[in-house]
Structure 1
Amino acid sequence: MTFLSSFTCSVLLLSFSSSFSFFYAFAAGTIGVNYGRVANNLPAPAEVVSLLKSQGINRIKLYDTDSDVLTALAGSSINVVVALPNELLSSVAADQSFADSWVKANISQHFPQTKIEAIAVGNEVFVDPKNTTPFLVPAMKNVHNSLVKFNLSSIKISSPIALSALQSSYPSSAGSFKTELIGPVIKPMLDFLRQTGSYLMINAYPFFAYAANSDVISLDYALLKENKGVVDSGNGLKYYSLLEAQLDAVHSAMSAIQYNDVKMVVTETGWPSLGDENEIGAGEANAASYNGNLVKRVLTGNGTPLRPQEPLNVYLFALFNENEKPGPTSERNYGLFYPSKKRVYDIPLTLEQLENGQSMPVNKSNSPAPSVQSGGDVSTTSSAGQTWCVANGNAGAEKLQAGLDYACGEGGADCRPIQAGSTCYNPNTVEAHASYAFNSYYQKKVRAAGTCDFGGAAYVVTQHPSFGNCKFPTGY
């Protein structure tokens, strides 16, 4: 992340919103973390690897190919994205032998002991003040040639771009790339990604858009909290979070130039836990809310409104607070952890932590209400290892009804017990009926990750939610 690019993108992203789709198969995504090291007080790489494993983090992204870090990661089963820095782009682009030497020294000697899965060639190159853009695609091609030469072609190649690459970004359906970038670099890069089966890397920060436009952007909307949503005037889709609107603006930009088949990974996103007085929204509570809600959204949801069947794969920024980063105070306070390895705030980082109810103490208002359905009592009996899916009463009737319609229709849930006159018809409320239908769908899907979310309208519980004569199934 660079302050220049993030500030620029905040000006472009005047007002965004994002949504959940109920009418497609759910596909849970993955969570990774950026391991930046612009600091003089960080733990040794071996300690960092132990921390990652203890927290269940199995995907990280680096900003270089530091040998000590890659050696520490060997045998850890942690998937790693490494980076070729911007200052090497011109040399790699101009000389295939230079690219060969770089791959041999930095990739082949660590692979496969270290699970390097991708190389980020450059970072936010389009806003690099040293004008390295002309070298980007030639460098990507030469690195790929080197990987093929060393039988490492399974490693993907891409390059993270900032949202400032967009000419138009609101509404999302009007998303387009800057004209001056399309011919020289965007199309050639997307061609390369398509040909090699890779994906576009995107760095997206709702914080900057909100901080610059807090008078028109809802904080709940920016933090992925419950909100009324915003309808895209171009395609009628309703959005409930700023991040997904940002991502769909990029999807629209790719579709506009006929590259809607190229997939996307969010290689950076986050929220600072501390900022300067003029950095509106920076703070621990908001950082915990954004990252905690995003983790839940990624691990239990589906894709964006424009691409609902593609999972959201996200790398949070960042693992540690980095005390030597230049710029405003926020730049040094994006970490999930202090250098002491203590959490800055407590949020779930894995599906297991999420399902076990890992606390989010600075964002208690974001947790669903404990009640399962109006007029019904929740059983206090707990079954070890068993889970059920119930409706989130705070989601609102519209969301619950949409989820109920999907579960009982395309989702294939057994909704006969909630028909009039049947054992689970009463209490006759949308929340009660949705709870039964959501659980039926969840159990039929063998309680798989992502099958109890319904766009934030459902969540997993460990206490049996049956009421009266109505028994919620535990499997089919």
Structure 2
Amino acid sequence: MAESRFVLVPLLSFILILSLPFMAEPAIGVNWGTLSFHRLSPTTVVDLFKQNKIQKVKLFEADPDALKALMGSGIQVMVGIPNEMLFLLSSSTQASDLWVRQNVSAYTVKGGVDIRYVAVGNEPFLSSYSGQYVSYVMPALLNLQQSLARANLANFVKLVVPCNADAYESSLPSQGAFRPELTQIMTQLVSFLNSNGSPFVVNIYPFLSLYGNSDFPQDYAFFEGTTHASYRWIKCLLQCI
């Protein structure tokens, strides 16, 4: 049997999902990525999810093999759309209709995949992208929302835009704001999310902070402590967004 190109990457990111206007309960899930030297078959990955009682997973792209393996598993799924697809989806309702039909409607059947969210891009506002994807985000969201509505899925599948923490500026969230160049797009995004009952999603990587700074508190990086100032910073961030 040919080796699958999938791999389970446990705790690759700490995904904080915030409901607007109220905060939802944070959840620790796993990302299912494709970059690894030790790739597992999709069915093996899903078996590992079940054995470890993992109930939420994010796919970075809507790969048919992964989605087929998740059918009937009861695992809640966030399906990702790569940043490179945002231009096409922002410029064509036919493209958004086709994407929804092939990657959502085809799997949200009885005994199918429990798709809860579609991630429109992955951290498209990251400063290192120099605004490359900013102008595509809202048009892509609007087209995809219409496509979900036409497929009678808008009440069940919610669109989100995972953001990196670098979209936020200031050492204290209560005294800061989003980066100035993102003010307009963030205002539009938050309005869209609120109107459609979608959460605001932030990816944070405390273990990478530990890797880059030996003084970073280890118990916080591994989700074991609640007393460090860094934990209080994140709690404040969640309360202020």
Which category of TM-score, normalised to the shorter sequence, fits these structures?
0.7 to 0.9
| Cα root mean square deviation, aligned | 2.3
Matched, 1:84 2:81: yes
- CA gap of 1:223–1:101, structure 2 versus 1, over 3 A, is closer
- CA gap of 1:89–1:151, structure 2 versus 1, over 3 A, is same
Deviates more, 1:144-153 or 1:44-53: 44-53
1:222-233 aligned at under 5 Å gives the runs 222-225=221-224, 229=227
Aligned residues of 1:166 and 1:250 also touching (Cα < 8 A): no
Question: Comparing both structures, which one devotes a greater share of its residues to helix?
Answer: 2
- CA gap of 1:125–1:243, structure 2 versus 1, over 3 A, is farther
Aligned twin of 1:121: 120
**How many Å apart are 1:137 and its aligned residue?**
1.2
Aligned twin of 1:374: none
Aligned twin of 1:4: none
Matched, 1:249 2:237: yes
**How many Å apart are 1:96 and its aligned residue?**
1.0
Aligned residues of 2:76 and 2:116 also touching (Cα < 8 A): yes
Aligned twin of 1:179: 180
Aligned residues of 1:123 and 1:161 also touching (Cα < 8 A): yes
Aligned residues of 1:32 and 1:58 also touching (Cα < 8 A): yes
Aligned twin of 2:196: 196
- CA gap of 1:210–1:41, structure 2 versus 1, over 3 A, is closer
Aligned twin of 2:157: 155
Aligned partner of residue 125 in structure 1, secondary structure: coil
Distance 2:158 2:99 in 1: 16
Distance 1:162 1:243 in 2: 17
Distance 1:99 1:85 in 2: 13
Aligned twin of 2:143: 142
Aligned twin of 2:70: 73
Distance 1:174 1:212 in 2: 26
- CA gap of 1:46–1:220, structure 2 versus 1, over 3 A, is closer
Aligned twin of 2:44: 47
Aligned residues of 2:89 and 2:96 also touching (Cα < 8 A): yes
**How many Å apart are 1:105 and its aligned residue?**
1.2
For each residue in 1:391-438, what CA deviation from the matched residue of structure 2 results, as whole angstroms up to 9, or x when unmatched? xxxxxxxxxxxxxxxxxxxxxxxxxxxxxxxxxxxxxxxxxxxxxxxx
Aligned residues of 1:223 and 1:241 also touching (Cα < 8 A): no
How much identity, in percent, do the aligned residues show?
33
- CA gap of 1:49–1:191, structure 2 versus 1, over 3 A, is same
Q: Which amino acid aligns with 1:178?
A: R
User: Gaps spanning 5+ residues in structure 2: where?
Assistant: 1-23
Q: Which amino acid aligns with 1:121?
A: V
Distance 1:241 1:110 in 2: 43
Aligned partner of residue 118 in structure 1, secondary structure: strand
- TM-score, reference length from structure 1: 0.42
Aligned partner of residue 78 in structure 2, secondary structure: strand
Distance 1:40 1:242 in 2: 33
Distance 1:213 1:67 in 2: 39
- TM-score, reference length from structure 2: 0.80
Aligned partner of residue 31 in structure 1, secondary structure: coil
- CA gap of 1:224–1:74, structure 2 versus 1, over 3 A, is closer
**How many Å apart are 1:241 and its aligned residue?**
5.6
Question: Comparing both structures, which one devotes a greater share of its residues to strand?
Answer: 2
Distance 2:130 2:47 in 1: 37
Distance 1:77 1:136 in 2: 30
The size of the alignment, in residue pairs, is: 213
Rg larger in structure: 1
**How many Å apart are 1:80 and its aligned residue?**
0.6
Aligned residues of 1:120 and 1:157 also touching (Cα < 8 A): yes
